[in-house]
A and B are shown apart, each in its own frame.
Chain A
Amino acid sequence: MKPAIRGIAVNTFRESARNKMFYLLVFFGILFALSSKLVSFLTLGDAMKVLKDTGLAAINFFCVLIAIFTGINLVYKEIEKKTVFNILSKPLSRDEFIAGKFLGLALTMLTALGAMAVIFFAFVAVSGGGFDLGILLYFFMLYLELLVIVAISLLFSSFTTPILSFIFTVSLYLIGQVMWTFNEFKDYLAIPLWRVFTQGLYYLLPNLHKFNIKNEVVMGTAIDPWSVLFSVLYALAYVLALLALTVLIFRRREFQ
């Protein structure tokens, strides 16, 4: 990797890692994941399943929060505080700048998720659950989802304010969770144009539901390896497409 891209990635990671908000969210993520034990006491049924279900949901929620907050701020702050003047006047392209930013965010998310995952694994083991390979797979899929979210927030932060970026990213995230319904919904539409439109949205907008294998992991049902492989390819393609769009917008951006 070129030292310039690595430099920007490391600096991006450093910025997140030296932000108190980052630690606060990681802390709450761990706290809520561990409090799943409490929920399991209060619920009827298999306590381990409840523990995994609520714990993984808490980690998911806080990781998504970290991805959105760090993603929407990083490029915008560079522009707002004019630190970008200093970077883009150096012999590196705007494409390399975006690539470095994304890699730094990916590293940030890996650290946040890694910290929560290690503690959750230990917690499950101590609670008598042993090592569950399914949970590891769940975290891997969650990481893919986080990469897509980070790429979405990076795209918006390259041309709009953090508030609008937040609204757009959260909207896409929520739509992405129910995207699968679009595919089924289209069959009920009578007008062909609407069907084409709905089908178009289905392929265009992120289908984040693909990455959610929590139910399978908690219930212990089999996970289709082809479905996992498809999700990996889907995440890669989607992230690359979003980064390409971000680069196209950022190349044309003027810094007054």
Chain B
Amino acid sequence: MKALEIKGLKKSFRSNFLIKKFNILKGIDLDVEKGEIYGFLGPNGAGKTTTIKCIMGLLSPDSGEVRVDGLPAHAAAARQRIGFLPENPYFYDYLTAREFLLFSASLFNIPEKEMRDKVAALIHRVGLSGHEDLKLRKFSKGMIQRLGLAQALVNDPDLLILDEPFSGLDPVGRKDLRLLILALREQGKTVFFSSHILQDMELMADRVGIILAGTIRRQGKLSELIARSTQYVEVVCDRIAPKELARIHPDHALRDNQSVLTLAGDADVNLVVESIIHSGGRILAVNPVKMTLEDIFFSEMAGGANGVPTSQSNGTGAPPNPSTLGGKP
């Protein structure tokens, strides 16, 4: 059974006095396995928050199905298993951190007595010890985000849904939150988080779904998405004459007194390597250059599905040139 399953989710909004209809979600299909960190990636306005609001029952979908652990997401039993951190959370500023967490616990119908010890442990866990009796109006953005995560954990959820959890955090806060989320996965929790920051995805996500203009454009394991996308292979060698190299492969260049041959991703690398050795050359390295998530993302944004990097990824506006691509060896 999937931790989260979304099928054919559609949502539209009307504006201009009910005249114009905007289709925000155009049929979202995605699934999240238990115990994984799923990164929901998309630019601003792609439909990430709308999808999350449909999961959490804050918006009613036009059509489609959302299931949590096999249960309809709107059912109380499903909600009981979810911890949710909204985007840019704002909590009651007249409450202290402890009061707020006790209040959050009460919404799960957890008796207050039972929660007192848990709340103290949660405050410690998110690094807010010593601030439990401080009013939230005195909290910084980072502290609010930590508290938001604490309230999302108050019911010991199986599934955590975090909407842009890193937004507005400084580097230290980002790292702390990242470590906390990774620790939650170690405990067997499932984490579904949205972000438009690629680095967060690459550092944390087991699987990624890319949403653009209300549709899921790509979904899969991050390692597979990147592995599938070998752009080209660099063969580095020396001790071979340029003429000989030109005979073996026309696309070659000299870099730091070493010859670099650039082969297409699907070229017969073995044949080229054998030819170089046969001609007396020495192989120094064979580097398959894969697309980064950024390349994949921008490729999808440009409407391509074949992994061809766009001007946005090489920053030149020119056709892809292996020497300027920031590929991962």
**Contact status of A91 and B80, CB under 8 A, knowing A15-B94, A254-B58, A255-B53:** yes
CB A247 to nearest CB in B, in angstroms, measures 15
| Contact of B92 with A83 in the complex, beta carbons under 8 Å | yes
The reply to whether the CB of B106 lies closer than 8 angstroms to some CB of chain A is yes
Q: Choose among B58, B95, B99, B109 the residue that contacts A3 (Cβ–Cβ < 8 A).
A: B109
Q: In the docked arrangement, what's the CA distance between A3 and B106, Å?
A: 5
| Contact of A7 with B106 in the complex, beta carbons under 8 Å | yes
Q: In the docked arrangement, what's the CA distance between A6 and B110, Å?
A: 12
CB A158 to nearest CB in B, in angstroms, measures 15
Encode contact with B along A4-16: 1 for CB under 8 Å, 0 otherwise.
1011101100110
**Contact status of A88 and B58, CB under 8 A, knowing A6-B106, A7-B103, A7-B106:** yes
The reply to whether the CB of A131 lies closer than 8 angstroms to some CB of chain B is no
| Contact of A90 with B90 in the complex, beta carbons under 8 Å | no
Tally of A interface residues using CB under 8 Å: 27
List residues of chain A with CB within 8 A of the CB of B53.
85, 255-256
The reply to whether the CB of B216 lies closer than 8 angstroms to some CB of chain A is no
The total number of A-B Cβ pairs within 8 Å is: 79
Q: In the docked arrangement, what's the CA distance between A39 and B108, Å?
A: 53
A-B contact pairs, 21 of them (CB 8 A): A3-B110, A4-B106, A7-B107, A11-B103, A18-B94, A82-B86, A82-B89, A85-B89, A86-B84, A86-B91, A88-B57, A89-B57, A89-B58, A89-B82, A91-B107, A91-B109, A92-B76, A92-B107, A254-B59, A254-B60, A256-B13
Known: A7-B107, A14-B94. 18 other contacts (CB 8 A): A3-B111, A6-B106, A8-B107, A11-B95, A15-B92, A82-B86, A85-B56, A85-B86, A85-B89, A86-B151, A89-B79, A90-B104, A91-B76, A91-B107, A91-B109, A92-B76, A93-B76, A256-B53
CB within 8 Å of A: which residues of B? 13, 53, 56-60, 76-77, 79-80, 82, 84, 86, 88-92, 94-95, 99, 103-104, 106-112, 151
